[in-house]
A and B are shown apart, each in its own frame.
Chain A
């Protein structure tokens, strides 16, 4: 599939680095300039798949490479500025014997000696907790809600029995889903819950936490990256405040990274070339309600739209004027639980309308930009059950495709008639989450609860589904690149999935730190393509550059 509309530019972010490198060569610093070395441990000898990160002292930018089959690692020329660098590693079950600082350029190879980690539990991803904890799929299923805000480590280290754990879970229902450990936000109205379900979950957690003493089950770990998964360069840009929670990240035509902040009323912009960071504050719409926006999407003019979450309504940012326009919900449509998590302005030039959702009503809405009026669409009305229109994408005629995140279907609303057609996914309880449309009008999406990525072809009204290779991946989103390869991220395993549906080949790139992956983005203008994502809990934006053009 082609995504031709996004291939207008032949700009290359590494071009300036190449020029810089050339300059170094001319100056005679030569091939020894790059930081390189070798990783080993007493237990394994040479170690493959160890993430080695270098961070210049005081810099917000960390660069990571992965050791190869012989334990060797090498930072690409020009990837590190000259000066002192602190080195860190990620290899589950291991840690550095002692802190290491090196100089760049570093003429001699660095040897990194690893020893067994003193506290393995502190290193586990949520996926590793899922596969370690005893219990049935049904017992573990509700935990996928918990990881929106935190890892399981803090739950499983507690000593609460079932009753105090129930009280904790009740407290959790009072927090907004746009909460992080750095910024906990209280809802105006608590979430509805069934007491027996919460009690059942509390009772289960009391069997796997430390209420009965140390964990009685072994801690299982996922394998380290091997082969192609080690052929990657990862750059992390730390945000200037720990509270910043980048949710959706997009790269614009100039290579700037724009992002929505999930817990604060700011739109952010990062210049990956210089690391310069800028924030644009949008107004408080509903005082006392949780702050922050979820979805960020550009329109055809290159302006950005934000979905105002509990602040409610939609917010448009005019990039040239650097000015916000707020589209408030009318009082009769607004309530304390109102929540706009999504916005789809891509085709609003067609009919002057922008799609959004209303989580508190299991509904969708459409804004008429000129009049500021919202229409309500309730495809699940009278039907009942668990439904929650979530990820949105519009076709060229501004017909809407929406994901039923509460259920197991995707839907289409006809822009002219307003009628909905709902297509259940082949897998029940799939909980489709975020989505994108390719150049052929096919709808690609993540089946969060089914651990699959999927494609819906509107022309054939048919689905295809592919399993994520690792259980308990919980993909949030999927992006199909110009080669037809899929990119997805796990909310629980700190891994980025790259998958070729044509050949079935896949690779999972491990990220250097705990990363709660949400919306994913691929910049198709670079060779190879460049993958971008926000670390929703880790206050950083991540660029992943695969060294392989294709998976074949």
Chain B
């Protein structure tokens, strides 16, 4: 992926995080925009984005989240609380005609509010 495209995706993420701010007469425990956000890209062997791939995030409990990648190969999960340990989520990807080769998680920096957790999923044909 080119730097420009990544920058555009990062901006997209910023916009959606802003769209989630505020909320509901303040009647919840915490602001949704202060928690852990999981996002990332699904790419082929050459680094090109794969649209419409199924991304599965499995939690320790065995419950899962399933999202599809956008036209730019991006996915995003609903916001977790800021106390959530990102290591407890395993990301996998799938698409017909492809098999997953590996996942790459960007190093998780401790921060308050937490930084988004980016996990890239690589697939190749076959």
CB-based contact A173/B27 at 8 Å: yes
CB-CB < 8 A to A462: which residues of B?
68
Contacts of B113 in A (CB 8 A): none
Instruction: Supply 20 further A-B pairs (C-beta < 8 A) apart from A382-B61, A385-B78, A428-B16.
Output: A141-B22, A142-B22, A146-B25, A169-B25, A192-B27, A193-B27, A194-B27, A194-B31, A197-B22, A197-B26, A200-B26, A384-B81, A384-B82, A406-B24, A419-B63, A423-B66, A424-B65, A424-B77, A428-B19, A429-B19
B16, B24, B62 — most chain A CB neighbours (10 Å): B24
- A residues 393-432 near B (Cβ < 8 Å) are 404, 406-409, 419-424, 428-429
- Name the residue on A nearest B17 (C-beta): A428
- List the B side residues contacting A200 at CB < 8 Å: 26
Q: How far is the CA of A273 from the CA of B25 in the complex (A)?
A: 43
User: A181-203, CB under 8 A of B: which get 1 and which 0?
Assistant: 00000000001111111101100
Neighbour of A201 across the interface among B25, B62, B65, B81, CB < 8 A: B25
Closest 6 pairs between A and B when the two form their complex, measured CB to CB? A384-B81, A197-B26, A194-B26, A420-B63, A145-B25, A142-B25
Q: Are A197 and B80 in contact (CB under 8 A)?
A: no
Contacts of A194 in B (CB 8 A): 26-28, 31
How far apart sit A192 and B25, CA to CA, in the bound complex (Å)?
A: 10
22 interchain pairs, CB-CB under 8 A: A138-B21, A142-B23, A142-B25, A144-B24, A192-B27, A194-B28, A197-B23, A379-B63, A384-B80, A385-B32, A385-B78, A385-B80, A386-B29, A408-B78, A420-B63, A422-B63, A423-B65, A424-B65, A428-B19, A461-B54, A461-B66, A462-B68
Let me know if A424 and B80 touch, CB within 8 A.
Answer: no
Q: Are B67 and A385 in contact (CB under 8 A)?
A: no
Residues of B within 8 A of A144 (CB): 24
A381 within 8 A of B: yes
Chain B minimum-CB-distance residue to A143: B25
- Chain A residue numbers with a CB within 8 Å of B65 are 409, 421-424
A385–B78 Cα gap in the complex (Å)?
9
Closest Cβ neighbor of B29 among chain A residues: A192
Contact of A384 with B66 at beta-carbon distance under 8 Å, contacts A142-B22, A196-B26, A428-B20 already known: no
Cα-based distance from A269 to B78 in the complex (angstroms) = 41
**Interface flag for B60 (CB, 8 Å):** yes
Q: Does A383 touch B at the CB level, under 8 Å?
A: yes
Contact between B25 and A384 (Cβ–Cβ < 8 Å)? no
Chain B residues within 8 Å of chain A by Cβ, number:
37
CB pair A142–B24 under 8 Å, yes or no, is: yes
Considering the chains assembled together, what is the distance between the CA atoms of A382 and B67 in angstroms?
Answer: 20
Q: Which residues of A contact B80 (CB under 8 A)?
A: 383-385
Considering the chains assembled together, what is the distance between the CA atoms of A134 and B20 in angstroms?
Answer: 21
A465 to chain B, nearest CB (A): 13
Contacting residues, chain A, for B67 (C-beta < 8 A): 423-424
Q: Which residue of the partner chain, among B21, B27, B35, B54, contacts A384 with CB atoms under 8 Å?
A: B35
Q: B23 contacts A382, CB within 8 Å? A: no
B10 lies within 8 A of chain A by Cβ? no
User: Is B104 interfacial (CB 8 A cutoff)?
Assistant: no
Chain B nearest CB, measured from A433 CB (Å): 13
B28 touches A406 (CB 8 A): yes
Contacts of B98 in A (CB 8 A): none
**Prevailing SS type, chain B contact patch:** loop
CB of B124 within 8 Å of the partner chain = no
With an 8 Å Cβ cutoff, the count of chain A residues facing the other chain is 41
Report the Cα distance A16→B68, complex, angstroms.
52
Question: Which of A197, A385, A404, A424 is B25 in contact with, Cβ under 8 Å?
Answer: A197
Docked Cα-Cα span, A138 to B17, in Å, equals 12
Query: Which residue of A has the minimal Cβ distance to B68?
Result: A462
User: A192-B29, A385-B81 known; A145 and B62 CB under 8 Å?
Assistant: no
Interface centre among A194, A195, A196, A407 (most CB of B within 10 A): A194
Q: Which of A201, A379, A421 contacts B66 (CB 8 A)?
A: A421
- Cα A196 to Cα B19 in complex, Å, equals 19
How near does chain B come to A380, taking the closest CB pair, in angstroms? 8
Asked if B101 is an interface residue, CB under 8 A from chain A, the answer is no
Q: B88: which A residues are within 8 A, CB to CB?
A: 382
A409 proximity list for chain B (CB < 8 A)? 65, 78
Q: Would you call B3 an interface residue if the criterion is a C-beta within 8 Å of the partner chain's C-beta atoms?
A: no
**CB neighbors of A among B1-38 (8 A):** 16, 19-32, 35
B90 at the interface (CB under 8 A from A): no
Please determine whether A193 and B26 come into contact, CB atoms closer than 8 angstroms: yes
B61 → chain A, closest Cβ, in Å?
7
* Complex CA–CA separation, A385 to B79 (angstroms): 7
> How close is B114's CB to chain A, nearest CB, in angstroms?
11
8 Å CB contacts to A: which residues of B48-79? 54, 59-68, 76-79
Contact A198 B26 (CB under 8 A): yes
Docked-complex contact B26 and A385, CB < 8 angstroms = no
Q: Which residues of A contact B29 (CB under 8 A)?
A: 192, 386
Chain B minimum-CB-distance residue to A172: B25
A461 to B65, CA, bound (A): 11
What's the Cα separation between A198 and B24 when bound, in Å? 10
Decide: B78 and A407 in contact? CB cutoff 8 A: yes
* Contacting pair A384 B84 (CB below 8 A): yes
In the assembled complex, B112 has its CB within 8 A of some CB on chain A: no
